[in-house]
Amino acid sequence: MDFQLRDERQAEGLEETPATFADSREHLVVVGNGMAGCRAVEELLARDGGRYRVTIFGAEPHVNYNRIMLSPVLAGEKTFDEIVINPRAWYDDNAIDLIVSDPVTAIDRVSQSVTAQSGRKVRYDRLLIATGSDPFIIPVPGKDLPGVITFRDMKDVDTMLAVAGAGGDAVVIGGGLLGLEAAHGLTLRGMKVTVIHLMDTLMERQLDEAAGWLLKSALEARGQTILTGANTAEIYGDGKVEGVRLKDGREIPASLVVMAVGIRPATALALEAGLTVNRGIVVDDHMVTSDPRVLAVGECVEHDGNVYGLVAPLWDMCRSLADGLTERHTGYKGSVTSTKLKVAGLDVFSAGDFSGGDGCEDIVLRDASRGIYKRVVIKDDRVIGAVLYGDTADGGWYFDLLKKGESIADIRDLLIFGQAFASGGGALDPKAAVAALSDDAEICGCNGVTKGQVVASINGGACSLDTVRATCKASASCGSCTGLVESLLALTLGEEVKSGPKTMCKCTSFTHDDVRREIVAQGMRSIPDVMQRLHWSTPDGCSSCRPALNYYLLCALPGEYVDDQQSRFVNERMHANIQKDGTYSVVPRMWGGLTNPRELRAIADVVEKYNAPMVKVTGGQRLDIFGIKGEDLPAVWADLNAAGMVSGHAYGKSLRTVKTCVGSDWCRFGTQDSTGLGVKIERMTWGSWMPHKFKIAASGCPRNCAEATIKDFGVVCVDSGYELHIGGNGGIHVRVTDLLCKVATEQEALDYCAAFTQLYREEARYLERTAPWVERVGLDYVKSRIVEDDVGREALRGRFLYSQSFSQDDPWAERAAGSHAQLHQPLAPLAIAAE
């Protein structure tokens, strides 16, 4: 015996050596590759990733998938790939040895080893039994005929789909959740379905009689035949199933019979191994069986006399189990369960005890024509049960009240109308309803995720539905809580979520702020560098992220970064504004809106020479020449350069214009030289690339003729100095500026302007104008950086001027001199060859 055992260990050692290193860690062997087993491993990894070497045995040939979602696969709403919970990569990434299609057939607790069907033998330090449950087969004649199946795994679904392809009649035995879902799926697949249910009410464990009746009527309206109080006597057929005979003699023809009468814990393996088993494998609060080296979790266990067949308790168990394995002593205290489901597209919810009895009171709302039924069961002023049919929106709230066990005496009158009314709001604002939930209220029943966990995940950086799903698993299974999660996103992130998910674009899961921070922190130097290091999901980004990355790099590395022309939007690449007919408009810079005869003559000459069909005065106090062809642009620019004019950057996410009024030189109200100041500001800021377009104005008195209070940066001159305004916008949403501060001298006005511009350049997200940026970060924040921090302001100004020393080369002059000529010239066809 001794010898033999050693021998086997050697053989086993050989088999396992491909891991290439001697692994001294304790070996956790998991029997069952289903939702409970894998979730337990996930919980364990989350607590102490490297502690155990893990091997998982699965009877099925698949990775771990969501068994609850077999119904949508049957109904054709999802594919198998979409219901996979742990893809192959998860096993690989966590160095988990997965052995599929090889069920464990025996456990030897003396040698601490398991033997699988193939004869494979593996030794364990800890064993986790997660065998789930077996479908119950009613012992009637014919139960073994071909065409009689259960509804438990992917193989059953494949069988059903194969039979359903030919149409015909199907019988589903069992009018519980599983049976009705099978019936629904088969109906959608084109079969004529009869449901045979032993009890008088469908889903009697989840629904009371009234709701069960509503459900039956609705299903019958969809073409199913529902026979309640029907007892199966026999399944008949010659070599394969042909029909079902009831005890009362009725015969129902069928080419497929699905038995969905219930499940029972799969305990055979544990029984044979001599573990204590009642209805299920008996476990303590940390899921330890009668053998301290053997644990069990999921539907196969019995805890404190209870056996659970729903998914939510399973998650609680897995947490307790992982806590126990990592010496955290919390302990499983049993679960209160609720059921929220969609059966054949009908919403059904139930929770707690709704069987009635002494001291129980019912509050009931019926709206038969709309198919809505609500019943809340109360005992001693506390909610002890609820059944909802047709409208289950308040299910989570009732369940929360039930679990908390607080007195509802104060809201009793309105309780049945739901949370919005009972809480006093009246309006059915889903966000308010979610906001009112307590932190331990369950959001995702499938994965047992509470509101607090979802919020923590959002605060930890998850800012979209997908990232929430990836981080805390809420809404990752059946999806019925998606609306709740979206409301929590909106509540937690506030305004930010309005503009869509905060991730930069579909190419990355990082946000603009993440990307910017990492560019600086990791010293990234090019767009491919960023995409490589931040795991971009596309080969070279998209038209959203490339211009943003180009800007962020340009801003982070003034004078060093080489601008990527192919990541520029057409206008910035062509240094002109594309028009709907593919021609361009050209706007030369007019400093502070001032011009002279030489400039005007040059513009007039260009208009005539290139047949520009229109010239227009812009809102920014300059002239716009329309209808210039792409090929003519360099020549146009050369002519304008010759008269001393440079690009007006009217096409860029950049400084546009500085609008001025005539100021104290001419105006009888003028208090300062606003025109001169405007020209100085424009000379300082022109050519700077920004997150978005940036407009400045300087008005000579509070009459504000230059409209400085709807600009990104505005100066309003007063007798005693200069008021500086920020964050204005005259676009779709007009926003009046906020007053940043007042300064005494023109030089200060210039200095503050430079510092503010640089703060915006460094911290706003690409394509975020100053108005939403100031609203997002708050005026106080901007003041703290620009007004209250003299050293910081001076540093910002210094960085702006340094950056400007590289950006004030006229792009038009470069192009006129021949740079990037290929952007303006078509290819010349050389020769024509025939073949």
Partner 1 sequence: MIDWIDIGTLADIPQRGARTVKLEGEKEIAVFRTGDDQIFALINECPHKKGPLSQGIVHGHAVACPLHNWNIALKTGEAQGEDKGCTPTIAVKQEHGRILIARPETLQAAA
Are 287 and 301 spatial neighbours (Cβ–Cβ below 8 Å)? yes
- Asked if 831 touches partner 1 (CB under 8 A), the answer is yes
Which residues are CB-neighbours of 619 under 8 A, at least 6 positions away? none
In degrees and rounded to multiples of 5, residue 454 shows phi and psi of -65, -45
| Residue 782 C-beta: closest distance to partner 1, Å | 31
- For residue 542, state whether it binds partner 1 (rule: CB under 8 A): yes
- Check binding of 650 to partner 1 (CB under 8 A): no
State the minimum distance, in angstroms, from the CB of residue 397 to partner 1: 36
DSSP structural state of residue 588: B
∠ CA 286-110-33, nearest 5°, is 50
Give the interface segment with partner 1, choosing from 15-23, 129-137, 458-466, 575-583 (CB under 8 A).
Answer: 575-583
Structure tokens that stand for 276 in this block: 């204590």
Phi–psi pair at 25, nearest 5 degrees:
-70, 160
Dihedral of alpha carbons 22, 28, 29, 32, sign: negative
What is the pattern of x (binds partner 1, CB under 8 A) and - over residues 484-523? ----------------------------------------
573 is a contact residue toward partner 1 (CB under 8 A): yes
Select from 176-184, 198-206, 539-547, 674-682 the region that touches partner 1 (CB under 8 A). 539-547
- Considering only CA atoms, which of 65, 96, 93, 92 is closest in space to residue 81? 65
* Of 80, 136, 236, 569, the one binding partner 1 by CB under 8 A: 569
The reply on whether position 539 binds partner 1 by CB under 8 A is yes
Q: By CB under 8 A, is residue 822 in contact with partner 1?
A: yes
Residue 741, annotated as binding a ligand: no
Minimum CB distance to partner 1, residue 545 (Å):
9
DSSP letter at 828 equals P
835 binds partner 1 (CB under 8 A): yes
Check residue 737 and report its DSSP letter: P
- By the rule CB under 8 A, 547 interacts with partner 1: yes
Q: With binding defined as CB under 8 A, does residue 199 bind partner 1?
A: no
CA 96, 97, 101, 102 dihedral sign is negative
Length, in residues, of the chain: 835
Q: Residue 570 interacts with partner 1 (CB under 8 A)? A: yes
CA atoms within a 13 Å half-sphere pointing along the CA-CB vector of 468: 35
Does 318 count as an annotated binding residue? no
Which CB atom, from 4 or from 822, has the smaller least distance to partner 1? Answer: 822
Binding characters for partner 1, 606-635, by CB under 8 A (x = yes):
------------------------x-----
**Two tokens, residue 686:** 């022109």
Identify which of residues 143 and 573 has a Cβ nearer to partner 1 in the complex: 573
Residue 830 interacts with partner 1 (CB under 8 A): yes or no = yes
Q: Is 834 in the site for partner 1 (CB under 8 A)?
A: yes
In order, the DSSP letters of 366-410 are EEGGGTEEEEEEEETTEEEEEEEES--TTHHHHHHHHHHT---GG
CA end-to-end span of the chain:
82
Q: Which is nearer to partner 1, 20 or 543 (CB)?
A: 543
Stretch 576-595: interaction string toward partner 1, x if CB under 8 A:
--x-x-x-------------
CB of 574 to partner 1, least distance (A): 7
For helices 177-188 and 154-164, angle between their N-to-C axes, nearest 10 degrees: 40
CB of 832: closest distance to partner 1 in angstroms? 5
Q: Report the alpha-carbon distance of residue 811 to residue 738 in Å, rounded.
A: 33
For residues 300 and 281, is the Cβ–Cβ distance under 8 A? yes
Of 18, 43, 39, the closest CA to residue 95 belongs to: 18
| 667 annotated among ligand-binding-site residues | yes
Q: Is 692 in the site for partner 1 (CB under 8 A)?
A: no
**CB–CB of 796/786 below 8 Å?**
yes
Q: Are 281 and 303 in contact (CB under 8 A)?
A: no
Binding residues for [4Fe-4S] cluster: 661, 667, 701, 705
Binding residues for siroheme: 705
Interface ranges with partner 1 (CB under 8 A): 538-543, 546-547, 565-567, 569-570, 573-574, 578, 580, 582, 630, 822-823, 826-835
Binding residues: 661, 667, 701, 705
